[in-house]
Structure 1
Amino acid sequence: MTRKTARQSRSTAATLFRWLLFMLLGGLAALAVGGYALYRHLEPQLPDVEVLSDIRYQIPMSVYSKDNLLMAEYGEMKRIPVGVPDTPKQMVQAFLAAEDNRFFDHPGVDYQGIARAAVTYLRTGEKRQGGSTITMQVARNFFLSSEKTLTRKVKEIMLAVKIESKLPKESILELYLNKIYFGHHAYGVGAAAQVYYGKAVQDLELPEIAMIAGLPKAPSSFNPIVNPERALSRRNYVLNRMRKLGFITEAQFHKAFNAPETAKLHIRPVELNAPYIAEMVRNEMYRQYGEDAYTHGYKVYTTIDSKMHALVEKSLRLGLHDYDERHGYRSKKTQRIDLKQLKSPADWDARLAEMQKIGETVPGLVLGFKEGGADVYLGAGQHTNLGLNATRWTHRGPKELFKPGDLIRLRKDNDNEWRLSQVPEAEGALVSVDAKTGAVVALAGGYDFALSTFNRATQAQRQPGSGFKPILYAAALTEGYTPSSVVNDAPIVYADPSQAGGVWRPKNYSGRYYGPTRLRVALAKSRNLVSVRLLKSIGLKKAIAMAEEFGFEPQELPKSMPLALGAGSATPLRMAQAYSVFANGGFRVEPYFIDHIKTDDDRLIYQATPGLACADCVDSGDPKGNLAPRVISPQVHYMMNSMLLDVVRMGTATQALELGRSDVAGKTGTTNEYRDAWFNGYVPGLATVAWIGFDSSKSLGHGETGGETALPMWMRFMKEALKDVPDTGFPVPSGLTTVRVDGSGKNGSNFEVYPAGRQPRNIVPKRSRPVNPGGSSAQDDGGAGGGAKSLESLF
């Protein structure tokens, strides 16, 4: 090559270099200008990262009993926030190894990682390495969508740099560990540890830590429940990365690598199954807080006593079974399977699983007969033999009732033996209230929430029947009547255009009339005609005013004479509120079921302050405290309590004497055509109401009165609830006097209570004879009273 040619080549090369340098500098300048323009365009669109300094995680609402047992959780996201200081060092190292080992070295964006990912992509055409740092994932999870676009990626990088400039690394890591999704509704490492291993984060072993750390990359693909093989491979990858980075020793690696995978779903167990009251809480919280109720981690503590609730639920269910079994076995509704086609226990298990447990009952499959009974398969390899005792209530033996292949239901009896059963068709409610404060201590709104979510304790507006009479009597005593005031129990007719023939002819349940009758006896025997005349005497206006003082709403009270027989409407909870007046000395308390509410960090944000029924406070004029209003005077209360005690001693609720207590009082109630059966009862300090009926309001059947149907359910609960609770009574208030009078007592005389100075001169005869022969029944309560059906004549 000549010198000239060499010079020309060097000149050409220099020119090319200058041109390339110019192009490169121009490109870089253009890129810088474009980048700056993109930054200026996107920067105003970026959210304020300062909010991360006071972030609120979406945490479900938890509902607890009074004694701190978990009743329910509401909220899609399961989350248990954990601080970095409380997070095991190996957990932090596992995430660094899996996601971002240079986290503590880069400024939010790992340019080395991005370069490696770019080179790998250019060389292979595949995206094998990601360039996202933990900070970038925080930016994406808190502020951005998951769409894969260049604009979103640029925003992610810009936000990551801003976050790093505002927050320390530990805070960013804490945000990440508590925000990231791990599958199965678990957000954050705390929830993941609970969901997959049933442990707190601090109790996890190294293999479990690695498994959790491997999940964020693909919570579905690497899920140990859904895809255990891929999950195990991902776990071991994380362990290998931890070894290479020096986070764990060779020995630790091999031990964890060879450990079996033990993940399984651990749903936080409900410690107290009380779905009706839990749903009441959920509804009230949503009313107060809207959607925030499900995401702000509220911890709601109710007034429910777990032991009392278990008693209420069991008593209601057994009471419904008692009623149901009196009305026969519905064999025509029995389902069957073909045992020739479904031959194996696995087939049988699958079919029984479809039926599920309902209330007290479990499904069973009749396989055949042996040892004088039916061989019934209960599932999971369990069998039982149903003999004659197990079917005695049907008045038929097993061979008369069953065929092989029948799908039946069973439940345990009092001796823990299996017996034939069925899901009751009638429904009921049982609610118990602390009469001094209004706190709902136990509530069951139906046989099984899974069967029907309708809460009959709070939503079923039913006619209270004779259960309303004590409110009417309290109004009468307030107006000057006394327990020995005499009212004529005789036929009466009222003009009423709404009735057939334009008249209303109320009757007693027995169809008999007993002439002049003391109010004490009339209430105990539930004499309807006395109640009607009493209402006529004091007037509708005063009776309704008294009912509203007891807690009834105006729309629940008809402005007509059938009100005397309970023709209004009330829920069991309303009746419990009303009878709390008798159980607490004469005060109206407002039922409530939320005692207090805390935030997820245990900060108290609500505390119930119920009005307290305190006779000493009110009657002495002590203004201290939040006091419930007095609605009947101490004297009227004492007289009413003594009369309601006699309902148990000699009236329509004598079955309750079996409890062996002297302080049990209350009133039965049965509506027209036996559509509702009630017992509204109490002891001082505790009011409990039992109701049984059909949702369709059809008849329970002849003779199914409050005293026969609802009272036994009430007694089953109160017998256990009052164990170790001593008999108590109300002190005699000033202004009353006790006088011996002739009456119907076993010793030929009784004591009666009167307002001082108002004891009568003439006492009612020892025994009043009925107008028509035949005597009276102690169960003179309930049934058809002669009025038209539209008026629901109640007793």
Structure 2
Amino acid sequence: MSDSDYPDNQPEFKKGSHGSDEDIRNEYFNDPKFRQSLRKKRKRVLFGLFSVLSISAFSLFGFLFFLIYLSFTLPSLEQLENPKPQLATEVYSADGVLLTKFFLKNRTLIKFQDIAPSVTHALLATEDIDFYNHWGFNTERSITRKLRELITSVLIERTYTKNEILSLYLNTVYFGQGAYGIEAASWTYFSKPAKELLVQESALLIGLLKSPTHYDPITKEKESLERRNLILNLMQKQGYITFPQKDSALATPIALQFTPVTDAGIAPYFTEYIRQQLEREAQKENFNIYEDGLIVQTTLDTRMQAHAENAIKKQLTFLQNEFNKTFSWHWANAELRNTLLKETSFFKARLESGKTETEVFNFILKRKKLTDSLLKEKLVVQSSFIAIDPETGHIKAWVGGKDFSKYKFDRVSLAKRQPGSTFKPFVYLTALNEGVPPNFMLLNQPLAIKTEQKMWIPKNSDEGDQGGETTLRDALKRSLNNVTIRLSMNYAQPSKIEKLAKAAGIETPLTLDLAMALGASVVSPLELATSYATFANNGTYIKPTAIVSIRDRFENEITSYSQHPQNRIDPAVNFILLSMLRDVIDDGTGREIRSTYNFKYDAAGKTGTTQGQADAWFAGCTPQLAAVAWCGFDDNRIKFTSMYYGQGSKAALPIWAMFMKDTYNDQSIGLKPTFFKRPTNGIYKIFISKKSNNPTIPGIEDGFFEYFTSKMVEKDNDLSSYLEKVLQQTNSSSIPNIKPFLEQSSGNKRDAAF
């Protein structure tokens, strides 16, 4: 018998059906079958106990595993302490206005103190009145949810205060219409920040959380109103608002200022330009413009932008009406009409279906409405405008077309068009830089120029405006093509013009021929405005700037942008050119700026009209703003029908003039009138006789003050002789050291500034 068979090693035996303990003990020692049955019973008991313990252990491990599994589906402690929701990038103007957002989810994080108290009151009254008295946030009731919530709430409340939890919740939940978070919702539905929400507005937004679709105030106004009023009653019941406040809010109808998520915002052509720049910067700075919640500070001034848009809207209405009244697809335009029709997808599809060109033309032309619809967009007058601060290079206004929602193509930065006579200042600048004085005279007569293709005979826009010799100053003022071509042929070669044009800001490659002098090479409005900003900035070039800084969502600066001024044009030469362009506005092709639009401040500029009135321009500057306006058609085969309204002085100049006048009259902008400053060195102001075009004494002969550089004086014997007399009076010894001639004041403050 083994040790395991002895009674001392067995469980205690109790009385049972087998009799007394004594009987059982005897039977155990004397009956093998009885012992075998006891062993089986013991095994069953041990197996049952083991099974219970195993199941319990398995259940415990299973529950622990389930908790571990849940923990993997919950945010980590690091994520709780540093949440990274998808945040919209916000783009702001120089005057602090939100221009637009770039996002995958329209969400903006704000602090608890930036949320109106009525928002949290409405939330708590509706969802969880005991929020401040328990762990977590009392919402969904499922077991899994409650377990997840329990774990998360412990982690969250170890990390955040109750107010921070509310802020995190309100910053992340979906309010419908593409708005994530209370700040985005407030702007989407009411066009205001969340801190300015009224009680009834807060109740409406919180009402959306139950079902953004069912209670959408845009599509389900009745349901939204009922839900809002229910929440207002709950707020009063919980003591968040008084009875009078509730009654007042209940009596208030829903008043939305809805901005759809698809809204392009303010200055959409400009902000699209910003977005493209940010895309390039994202690769260098390793950020995501659609998720990282960047804060982008731009240079645009929304007040100037509004003035530019208003001017364009008003002028385009006039131009479109004039064009519509005078344009028709008559015999002269029939060939163009047919060419344009051939380019349409409708025409091509009919050809692919097996029709001949004649059959397709007959089908289209017999249906006027169809013809008009196919060609409609070709006949839309377009415009663009840009304004730059010359001193900083900051872009202040940018209009890339008539309507961004319909026409996405940006005509400020992308359109390359012939600038016409707005390019002529580069020709005259080149001549001045070579030492040719502004009173130099050239013959104002047509000339024939032999080219490889034909004999080219450039003419003035007004063919009656010719004859005799004309000074460079007068030729630029009157925009004389004859004089400009002669000047380029003899004193301002195309290669030298190109060099100074690039120095001023023209980046597009130019065609180096005489036609370039009349603006035959294409440029963009952005380039042209940059160049005129260089003129306004005393010949100092500054690359145009659209972005000032980029910050992350914690307002840490990622990068900032500052441009370095580059002195590219002799200030004395540049100043003389400005004085000539000032004459264009005072008494030349741009005189309507003074006479019609009554803009009295110091300004310089140039009109431009290309062949056949395809493009109308005005480019100009004040000491504080350089701006360019363009009008025309996207397809340059379509042209304005007459010079009456289609030349630069009639089509584009009014936009520039209205913008400048409204901007300077806008007291909130605060531009103070000032004058172009004359350089202190290297320039002379000398009185010139109108009769002889030579220096004379003021008061003896009829004449005018003209400006000259030292180089011009050295090359002109009459000027040299005249200034030699001044040398004797100033005890100077040689021309390079001549002291600036002190002219007599004309009594005109603006002239004195020159």
- Is the 2:297–2:548 contact (alpha carbons within 8 Å) kept by the matching residues of 1? yes
Verify the 8 A CA contact 2:131 2:137 in the aligned structure 1.
no
Contact kept? 1:464, 1:669, Cα under 8 Å: yes
Which of residues 84, 91, 100 is equivalent to 1:56?
84
Partner of 1:735: 682
- Name the residue aligned to 2:723: none
Q: Deviations over 1:182-232 (max 9, x none)?
A: 333333345456656777666778887777666556544566666678778
Aligned pair partner of 1:591 in 541, 544, 555: 544
Larger Cα-atom Rg: 2
| Residue number in structure 2 paired with 1:655 | 592
Query: SS state of the match for residue 689, structure 1?
Result: strand
Tell me the equivalent position of 1:425: 380
1:280 to 273, 276, 286: 273
Q: Shift in Å at residue 549 of structure 1? A: 0.2
Any idea what the Cα deviations from partners look like across 1:377-399, whole Å, max 9, x if unmatched? xxxxxxxxxxxxxxxxxxxxxxx
What is the distance in 2 between the residues matched to 1:40 and 1:52? 17
% same residue: 30
- Provide the residue aligned with 1:299 in structure 2: 295
Q: Give SS of 2:90's match.
A: strand
| d(CA) in 1 for partners of 2:245, 2:500 | 80
Q: What is the deviation of 1:483?
A: 0.9
User: C-alpha deviations, 1:212-265, integer Å up to 9, x for none?
Assistant: 66655654456666667877898899899999xx96699989979x95896675
Number of the residue aligned with 1:514:
467
Q: CA RMSD of the aligned region, Å?
A: 4.9
Alignment deviations for residues 154-178 of structure 1 (CA, whole Å, 9 cap, x no partner): xxx8777766777677655543343
> In the alignment, what sits opposite 2:533?
580
Change (3 A) 1:739 1:425: same
Partner of 1:358: none
Do the aligned partners of 1:297 and 1:600 also contact (CA within 8 Å) in 2? yes
Give the SS at the match of 1:663: coil
* Alignment-mate amino acid for residue 409 of structure 2: F
Shift of 1:552: 0.9
Q: Are the structure 2 counterparts of residues 98 and 630 from structure 1 closer, same or farther at C-alpha, using a change threshold of 3 Å?
A: same
TM-score, normalization by structure 1: 0.65
Q: C-alpha separation between the residues in 1 aligned to 2:193 and 2:426?
A: 55
1:265–1:562 CA distance, 2 compared to 1 (3 A): same
Q: How does 1:285-364 map to 2 (within 5 A)?
A: 285-289=278-282, 292-329=288-325
Question: Could you tell me which amino acid in structure 2 is paired with residue 720 of structure 1?
Answer: D
Aligned to 1:524: 477
Provide the residue aligned with 1:150 in structure 2. none
**SS at 2:438's partner residue?**
coil
651-660 vs 722-731, greater mean Cα deviation:
722-731
CA deviation after TM superposition for structure 1 residue 708, in Å: 3.0
Q: State the one-letter code of the partner of 1:184.
A: Q
Q: Which residue of 2 aligns with 1:548?
A: 502
Given that 2:124 and 2:131 are in contact with CA atoms closer than 8 Å, whether structure 1 keeps it comes out as no
Query: What is the Cα deviation at residue 643 of structure 1?
Result: 1.7
Shift of 1:131: 3.0
C-alpha spacing 1:17/1:608, structure 2 compared with 1 (3 Å): same
**Relative to structure 1, is the Cα distance of residues 539 and 200 closer, same or farther in structure 2, using a 3 angstrom cutoff?**
closer
Describe how 1:658-737 pairs up with structure 2 within 5 A: 658=595, 659=598, 661=600, 663-697=602-636, 698-703=638-643, 704-723=646-665, 725-726=672-673, 728-731=675-678, 733-737=680-684
| SS of residue paired to 1:546 | helix
User: How far apart in 1 are the matches of 2:46 and 2:613?
Assistant: 106
- CA offset digits 1:552-584 (Å, max 9, x no partner): 11x431122221111111122221111122222
Structure 2 letter corresponding to 1:98:
E
Give the AA of the match of 2:78: E
CA contact (8 A) 2:618 2:653 kept: yes
Contact 1:467 1:566 in 2 (8 A): yes
> Aligned partners of 2:197, 2:590: CA distance in 1, in Å?
60
Q: Report the residue type matching 1:32 in the other structure.
A: L
CA distance in 2, matches of 1:60, 1:476: 52
Q: Look up the equivalent residue of 1:178 and give its one-letter code.
A: N
2:168 to 156, 175, 195: 175
Aligned length: 612
The CA distance in 2 between the partners of 1:692 and 1:249, in whole Å, is 58
- Mapped contact 1:239–1:253 kept (Cα < 8 A): no
Shift of 1:51: 2.5
Residue ranges of structure 1 left out of the alignment (5+ in a row): 114-127, 138-156, 334-421, 612-627, 764-795
Label 1:699 to 1:300 Cα distance change in 2 as closer, same or farther (>3 A): same
Consecutive unaligned residues of structure 2, counting only runs of 5 or more, are 1-14, 21-37, 330-376, 666-670, 694-698, 720-754
CA 1:232–1:135 in structure 2 vs 1: closer, same or farther (change >3 Å)? farther
Answer yes or no: is 1:188 the counterpart of 2:181.
Answer: yes
Are 1:505 and 2:444 an aligned pair? no
Task: Tell me the SS of whatever aligns to 1:667.
Answer: strand
In the TM superposition, 1:21-420 aligns within 5 A as 22-34=50-62, 48-83=76-111, 88=117, 91=120, 94-95=123-124, 98=127, 129-131=141-143, 136=148, 174-192=167-185, 216=209, 218-221=211-214, 266-267=257-258, 273-289=266-282, 292-329=288-325
Indicate conservation of the 8 Å contact 1:440/1:592, yes or no: yes
SS at match of 1:314: helix
Selected match of 1:758 from 714, 726, 737: 714
Q: Please state which structure has a larger fraction of its residues in helix.
A: 2
Which residue matches 1:387? none
Deviations 1:462-510 (A, max 9, x none): 111111111121112111211122334444444433x2x4x44333334
In 2, the alpha carbon distance for the partners of 1:66 and 1:78 equals 23
Letter in 2 for 1:283: Q
Paired residue type of 2:639: S
Matched ranges for 1:599-618 at <5 A: 599-611=552-564
Q: Does the CA-based 8 Å contact 2:599-2:657 persist in structure 1?
A: no
CA distance in 2, matches of 1:468, 1:22: 99
Please give the secondary structure, in 2, of the residue aligned with 1:545.
helix
- Distance in 2 (CA, whole Å) between partners of 1:49 and 1:225 is 39
Secondary structure of 1:73's aligned partner: strand
Q: Give CA deviations for 1:622-672 in whole Å, capped at 9, x if unaligned.
A: xxxxxx112221221222122222223443223233136373321111111
Letter in 1 for 2:59: L
State whether residues 489 and 530 of structure 1, in contact with CA within 8 Å, keep that contact through their aligned partners in structure 2: yes
SS at match of 1:66: coil
Q: TM-score, normalised by structure 2?
A: 0.68
Query: Does the CA-based 8 Å contact 2:616-2:631 persist in structure 1?
Result: yes
For residue 749 of structure 1, the aligned residue among 693, 698, 703 is 703
Q: 1:548 offset after TM fit, Å?
A: 0.7
Task: Tell me the SS of whatever aligns to 2:107.
Answer: coil
1:492–1:529 contact (8 Å) kept in structure 2:
yes
Instruction: Confirm whether residue 646 of structure 1 aligns to residue 583 of structure 2.
Output: yes
How far apart are 1:686 and its partner, in Å?
2.0
